[in-house]
Structures are given as C-alpha cells and as structure tokens.
Amino acid sequence: MPHFNWLLGVAFVAASWVNAAPLKFELSDADRTAPFTARVSQEGNYRVTVTLGDAVAETKTTIKAELRRLMVADEIQTARSEIKRVSFIVNVRTPKIAAVKGIAAGEVRLKAPRETTQEAWAWDDAITLEFSNPRAVRTVEIEPVEVPTIFLLGDSTVCDQSKEPYNSWGQMLTRFFKPEVAIANHGESGETYRDSIGRRRLDKILSVMRPGDWLIMQFGHNDQKQIAAGSGGPFTTYQAEIKKHVDAVRARGGTPVIVSPMERRTFDEAGKVKPTLGDYAEAARRSARELGVAFIDLNAMSKPFYEALGPEKSARAFAAPGGKVDNTHHNNYGSYELAKCIVQAIREQKLPIAQYVVDDFKGFDPSHPDDPDAFAVPASGDFTNQRPLGDEANK
C-alpha cells in the first residue's frame, strides 16, 4: 500500500522484488492525493500498466512519468463505468556507473542542487507517475522488461525539465513510441558534447547500452559559447567531440543519430527566421555525412514551424516565465511539435526504430503545425521563473 512522504510530496510504495515478479497496486482514495512512486530493485526498463475508469462518471486522464515525460496519448477517455488499461515503458537509472570494458566504475557528475534536489526523481531507484485525474486511477502494475532502449543526449532543449512552463522535445518523444521500446533521456540543461564526456553522461549510457540500442544526440546552443571563450568551434572541437560519441556508441553495438540544434525565435522584417546556429547545424550535417550516421535536421525543420505561426503567434511555442518570452526554450506545445519533427524524420528516413512509432501518428509537416489553441496536454503543478542553466554553469 502506498504511503505519503511529506518531505518529497509523493506517495511511495516499498517494492519487494522476488525473481523480478510483476507488482500490482490497487489505489484507494487516500493514495490518489499525490504522485505515485514505486521503488524498484534495480535500474533498467519497466512496463507500467495503469487501469483507468470511474463507476459514476466519465474520465479524462493524462499520464506523465519521472520528470514530466508524456507517456501515452494526450488524454485517455473513459465513459461512465468503462475500464481501460494502458501500458508504457519507463526507464529507471541511478548515477552509478558500472565498470565494463573500456569504462571505469564511478558516477555521473550530477549538478547540485539542480539534479540532486528538483530533478532527483530522474536519478532515483523508483518510478514516479503523475496523473492529471488521479481519481480515475484504479490500479498500477509494474514489471521489468527487456526491450531496446533509445537514449537521448542534449541540452535544455532536449532534457527533462522539472517544472512548468519549460519543456523539451525529449519529454514529449515518449508519447510517440509503442510500449515495445524505452526512451532514456540523459540530457541536461546548459551542456555540450564536451560536458557529456566530462560529466560522464556518455560513460553512463555506454555502461548500460546493449547491441541494438540507439543514441539520439543534439547539442549546439551551449557549444556555441565556447567560441567566445576561445575553447572551440563548430568545425573543429564540436565535430571532434561528435566523432568521439559516434565511435564510442558503435563500439558498444549501438546506433548513433545526430540531430542539429533547432533555431531560436528571432525574425527579420520579412517574417523569416534569422539563423543563429547555422554553423553548428552545418557542422552536425558534415559530421553525419563523413561518419555515415543518420542525421535529423531539426534546425531546418524548426524554421518553417516558427514561420508558419509568425513573429507574434510563434511566442505561443516558447516558455514565458513571469510573462516574458524565452526565445530559446519551449513550452509543452512547442516541444510537442518539435518531437513530431523528430518522429517524422525517423519515419521519412526509414530508420529501424520507425517500427516502434505509435499507430496514431499520421505524419507531420512543420509548415502546417497544430493549432496551439487546440493543444490539450495539461500543465503539471510546479512552476518556476528560473531560466534553465546555461554554459556558464559548467565552468
């Protein structure tokens, strides 16, 4: 039976795993007062099945996991007395790095206090679920599974942002994949390819990567700041660091995918997006071509998306803490559309992971985005006016 932890504000379940047997929890009204968290015995991938429905009313429920990862279709609806079961895969990880061939034992260099407090749920030995309509939740079942893993690496536009109004395409990507593959987001705000190596995030991924797994990686926004510091550039260190990632992933039997950084929200007088990351997008493209790696040009896809909305309405795709628009970081709507860009590119290029894309994804044209007024994913409860970390946090 879950019990409420007042310090963390979550309902914890003490899970005793015997021979990795599935666990099933029946929730009472008292259990539905906070996010549901079940401890698990080890890191890895878990299939979570939630039973939804109400005997006396219709229900609409959105399910997020860990740090606000959208796990299933935007709203699951049930009629009065109707019961629905939905399943999805949650990846659980800890900072510890196990020693494997070529990788020394140790830990990821987490950022304190960000990753050790407000993002702690992303690194603990537990599964945390957030329900937009807790009263609709009847049961939660959890079982370990062996499925392929799609790892993500990137900066604040990729990582799991812990609080509204910020969100990333990495948090929305989970919604577009079937419960036959896991998404493991190892991105973090303010980081670069160099930080991925230095903070041992790449080592962490390599230590658990298996043949057949994937790594999708997108950096550039913070790498750009290395030019001013005299410590790098797009066609030198940036490309060299990409190669280190690609070579390391291939050595573990994984498949790398390079993504160019999406543009910022800046327009010229003609209503066209001004390029601010062109050199990094081109460097990513060249690296992919030279290394024979799949390439997703999110930089190119983001421009028609913003331009379709226009200079004013495009603000609806970006976070606006305290009413001031952040022209780099996206909100739930903007990140949802960018995740669709990633999925569309995966499908168009016929990458093997396209087989795991959900059946209800009908394709996406960034020049004809969804209407922000019709966007239905509800916001989570916690808000912040603090901008995600920049490169200066890594010095």
Q: Are 206 and 197 in contact (CB under 8 A)?
A: no
pLDDT computed for residue 381 by the predictor = 85
Q: Which of 20-29, 55-64, 263-272, 294-303 has the lowest mean pLDDT?
A: 20-29
pLDDT computed for residue 13 by the predictor = 43
pLDDT > 90 fraction of the chain, expressed in percent and rounded: 85
Report the CATH number of the 1-146 domain: 2.60.120.260
Q: Is the pLDDT of residue 391 over 60?
A: no
pLDDT (tens digit per residue) in 65-107 = 999 999 998 899 999 999 999 999 999 999 999 999 999 999 9
pLDDT computed for residue 2 by the predictor = 35
At 316, the amino acid letter reads: R
Task: Write out the two tokens for 263.
Answer: 């543009």
Q: Is the pLDDT of residue 270 over 60?
A: yes
pLDDT computed for residue 27 by the predictor = 84
Domain positions in the chain are 1-146, 147-395
Q: Residues 139-148: what's their mean pLDDT?
A: 97
Between these two residues, 13 and 188, which has the higher pLDDT value? 188
Q: Residues 330-341: what's their mean pLDDT?
A: 98
pLDDT > 70 fraction of the chain, expressed in percent and rounded: 92
Q: Residues 235-264: what's their mean pLDDT?
A: 98
Between these two residues, 14 and 197, which has the higher pLDDT value? 197
- Helix 237-251 and helix 201-208, axial crossing angle in degrees, nearest 10: 20
Q: Residues 290-315: what's their mean pLDDT?
A: 98
Q: Is the pLDDT of residue 7 over 60?
A: no
Homologous superfamily assigned to 147-395: SGNH hydrolase (3.40.50.1110)
What is the 8-class DSSP label of residue 102?
T
3-state secondary structure of 165: coil
> Which ranges constitute the DSSP H helices of 229-372?
237-251, 278-291, 298-313, 332-348
pLDDT (tens digit per residue) in 149-168 = 999 999 999 999 999 999 99
Q: Residues 290-309: what's their mean pLDDT?
A: 98
Half-sphere exposure of 249 (CA within 13 A, CB side): 28
Q: What's the whole-number average pLDDT of the chain? A: 92
pLDDT tier for residue 332 given thresholds of 50, 70 and 90: very high
State the DSSP string of 205-233.
HHHH--TT-EEEEE--TTTTHHHHTTS--
Q: Is the pLDDT of residue 19 over 50?
A: no
Rounded distance between C-alpha atoms, residue 179 and residue 298, angstroms: 25
